[in-house]
Amino acid sequence: MYELTAALDGPPDAPVLVLGNSLGTSRMVWDRQVPALSAWFRLMRYELPGHGGAAAGPGLDTISGIATGVLALLDSHGIERAAYCGISLGGMIGMWLASHEPDRIDSLGIVCSSAYLPPAEGWRARADQVCRSGMASITEQSIGRWFTPRFTAAEPELVAAFAAELERANPDGYAGCCLAIADMDLRGDLGSITAPTLVISGAQDPSTPPEHGAVIAAGISGARHVVLEGAAHLANVMAPTEVTAALLSHFRVG
């Protein structure tokens, strides 16, 4: 079985918090949260297939396939239960885990994500594009979704680092993740999620706008929905103080 890779931070005896990345990013997407979160949790930041230097693996082109890889990663470290927070594709994986393996997920955070993200044809076309033309062919569009123009102008070195991480992703792994999103529909699973859930949206997110977060929050009993003004798709990078505070409040209580 193909194994996901992960970095571990924080006290070995602390409660485990798994962090899932968005499509096209590596675990560096959580760098602005690590100092505060690792004071309270044992952080496990796994890499998506083909991302962050990880290889692309077979059978990882579905949400369930990647989620099963996360479960195997937990098993390999002897972790029976954990809290989970994911951004974008990472959030989709978290919803699958919380609905299909509720005994493994204590609490759930979902950042800038969606339970259903058509059209499927668009995701398949993007998968084909990176395989034919390389990762650099989607850099400009991706950066435009991840960050606002104002943030890009204010943080050019940080944005350039994210562009470099995208461009070093394995096209086959990235394409497989695109296909996973294309075939995803988690709307029917939301009602079975019992873990305390926080949903965060960016008000200026063109990929998964706040309406998508509202659907998730409405479908999960007791879920709380927070919308961050001025934030685009990588809200935790653009608004690190607000996102970190919200996550600490949720996971330390939940």
If pLDDT is split at 50, 70 and 90, which confidence band does 35 have?
Answer: very high
Judged against a pLDDT cut of 60, whether residue 254 lies above it is answered with no
User: Angle, nearest 10°, between helix axes 89-100 and 171-182?
Assistant: 60
Residue 1, pLDDT > 60, answer no
- For residue range 159-201, list pLDDT tens digits in order: 999 999 999 999 999 999 999 999 999 999 999 999 999 999 9
Cα separation, 171 vs 71, in Å, equals: 24
Reported as a pLDDT band with limits 50, 70 and 90, residue 54 is confident
pLDDT for position 209: 98
The answer, yes or no, to whether residue 215 has pLDDT greater than 90, is yes
The per-residue pLDDT for 93 is: 98
With cut-offs at 50, 70 and 90, classify the pLDDT of residue 56.
confident
| CA pair distance 199, 113, nearest whole angstrom | 8
Q: Give the mean pLDDT of 127-142.
A: 98
Confidence tier at 25 by pLDDT (50, 70, 90): very high
pLDDT classification of 253: cutoffs 50, 70, 90 = low
Strand 197-202 relative to strand 6-9, pairing: unpaired
Contacts of 140 (CB under 8 A, 6+ apart): none
Give 57's pLDDT tier (boundaries 50, 70, 90): confident
**Domains in the chain: ranges and CATH:** 6-253 (3.40.50.1820)
Tokens of 140: 């400009």
What's the whole-number mean pLDDT along residues 126-149?
98
Q: What is the DSSP letter of 14?
A: S
pLDDT at 79: 96
Average pLDDT of the residues in 75-101: 97
Residue 3: predicted pLDDT: 74
The rounded distance, in Å, linking the Cα atoms of 97 and 115 is: 13
